[in-house]
Amino acid sequence: MNNDNQLEDFVLVSQHLVMAEHLNPNHAIFGGQLLGWLDVDVYLFCTNKLRYKHMVTVSMNNVFFRAPAYLGDIIQIFARMKETKRSSVTALGKAVAFDPEKQAYRDIIECEITYVALDENGKPARIFNQDADDTQSL
Give the containing element (helix H, strand E) for 111.
Answer: strand 104-117
| Contact set with ligand COA (CB under 6 A) | 56-59, 85-88, 114, 116, 124
Give the containing element (helix H, strand E) for 31.
Answer: helix 31-50
Q: Are 111 and 10 in contact (CB under 8 A)?
A: no
Residue 59 CB, shortest distance to ligand COA, in Å, is: 4
Of 57 and 136, CB closest to ligand COA: 57
Residue 138 CB, shortest distance to ligand COA, in Å, is: 7
For 97, residues 6+ apart whose C-beta sits below 8 A from its C-beta are: 67, 69, 73, 74, 75, 76, 105, 106, 108
CB neighbours of residue 81 within 10 Å: 18
Of 15 and 59, CB closest to ligand COA: 59
Q: Are 37 and 30 in contact (CB under 8 A)?
A: no
Of 76 and 84, CB closest to ligand COA: 84
Of 76 and 87, CB closest to ligand COA: 87
